[in-house]
Structure 1
Amino acid sequence: MRLFRNNSLTVVLLLLFGATIVGQWLTGWQVATADALQHGRAATSLMNYTQSPEFLSSVFENWESEFLQMSAYVVLTAMLIQRGSSESKDPDSPPRDADLAAQASKPGAPAILRKGRLARALYARSLGIALFLLFLLSFVMHWTQSARAAAIEAKDHGEAALSTIAYLGDPQLWFESFQNWQSEFLSTAVLVLLSIFLRQKESPESKAVAASHAHTGD
């Protein structure tokens, strides 16, 4: 029970992820089956749909925007301020991560901080780097699977298909990306601003309920 309590946030989020991606998978297959029958084609099996560019493209299109949002947010909050927001560091507080070489000797400090200046510099930015790499990987998967889907559609209409490289310049790819990116940045900006004036009791994403609107940080 303690194991679940200590990891309950991750467990619940992963369960929600599992339930929703299965929902996307099953409903997407139903849509693809209905579309195939409408156009006089044989319906694809559920397992074949799992490997289809339509399904993979839609999955990675969404993952791409989420990882872009998170990587940008992690990096921007390290550099920029929104006074009064729980999502911002306090501009009047001293730097939290100054002199990492000295902080490496603190009890419980990650051992990598004692591996030299380069190791410290990389580790100090490792979260942003990891999220950005996940964004790049998701973007590549979205791009290549969208190119495959476009090639299949072009073939069905007797048209010449673009190569994967050429598809990188196709407006459809960027339309799919931008429509997700803009919503991620908007929702993040709304969270930053609403957290100045609104509260969520006991949430680390909110200031204390009794904190003043001017208080910045958690």
Structure 2
Amino acid sequence: MRKLAKWIDDHSLLLAFVFLFLLCLICQIISGTDQYNQNQSMQGLHTVSRMQYLATGNFLDGMFSNWQAAVLQLGTLIVFAVFLKTRGAAHSLRPGGQRKSKTEGKKHRGKKQRSWLYRNSLSLAFALLFGAFFGLHLVTASSANNEQRALMHQPPIGLGAFAVSSTFWFETTQTWEAEFMAIGLYIFLSIYLRQEGSPESKPVDAGDNDTGETNK
């Protein structure tokens, strides 16, 4: 029990977000099924079970649309933070300086230099995740759109045509807009506001012009 309690404590932040993710996903399935069935009933069509709803374009598009935007947001922050700075922000390199590794300048006997792949593995992972989620978002959004067109007795639109349609990009850029706004607000507000005890905030007694690397 002690080992389990220690493991939970060591991973409590990750576990909290996994719990919130699953909770929101369950709520999305429940509310999404109800809304989907209401629309189906209004048009005299058959309703679906919660398990059947998981295979609809309505559910899958809603899920992957948000996932690709969230991954794009964090991936962009990770890459931009390598080159760009904001004086006073909690999550930024210090203007006029470079981030120094704790092992910089030290000799490591018997150790090879980290490969380029490893040194950029975090941003590459987010790039791959974004590519996968964006592709799934495109496919499922196209499916959901064609489901709606079928209800209106209109012919389906091919994936390529849908990929360049205003409908697809209108919905996609809305999610990007919200994610970039959230990151921008965090960067700006972290200059002037504090959260005691959080590593994502500057120390309470830090000045507004103090720029801190929160994850150093």
Following superposition of structure 1 onto structure 2, how do residues 1-218 of structure 1 map, counting pairs within 5 Å? 1-97=5-101, 105=108, 114=112, 120-217=115-212, 218=214
Distance in 2, Cα, partners of 1:148 & 1:57: 8
Distance in 2, Cα, partners of 1:103 & 1:163: 57
Distance in 1, Cα, partners of 2:149 & 2:25: 28
Distance in 1, Cα, partners of 2:8 & 2:175: 33
Distance in 2, Cα, partners of 1:99 & 1:163: 53
Aligned length: 209
**TM-superposed deviation, 1:89:** 1.3
**TM-superposed deviation, 1:157:** 1.5
Residue type at the aligned position of 2:210: H
**TM-superposed deviation, 1:98:** 9.8
Distance in 2, Cα, partners of 1:12 & 1:98: 30
Distance in 2, Cα, partners of 1:3 & 1:45: 38
SS at match of 1:188: helix
Which structure 2 residue ranges, 5 or more long, are not aligned? Answer: none
Distance in 2, Cα, partners of 1:140 & 1:25: 22
Q: Scaled by the length of structure 2, what TM-score is found?
A: 0.90
% same residue: 27
Q: 1:57-112: CA deviations, max 9, x gaps?
A: 00000001100000000000111010111111112444324997x76838xxxx9x
**TM-superposed deviation, 1:146:** 0.9
Q: 1:8-39: CA deviations, max 9, x gaps?
A: 00001100100001001110000001111111
Distance in 1, Cα, partners of 2:162 & 2:55: 20
Distance in 1, Cα, partners of 2:91 & 2:107: 26
Distance in 1, Cα, partners of 2:93 & 2:84: 8
Distance in 2, Cα, partners of 1:215 & 1:98: 21
Distance in 2, Cα, partners of 1:177 & 1:71: 17
| Cα 1:2/1:98, change in 2 over 3 Å | closer
Q: Is the 8 A contact 2:93 2:99 kept in 1?
A: no
Distance in 1, Cα, partners of 2:188 & 2:90: 9
Which structure 1 residue ranges, 5 or more long, are not aligned? Answer: none
Residue type at the aligned position of 1:164: L
Q: Scaled by the length of structure 1, what TM-score is found?
A: 0.89
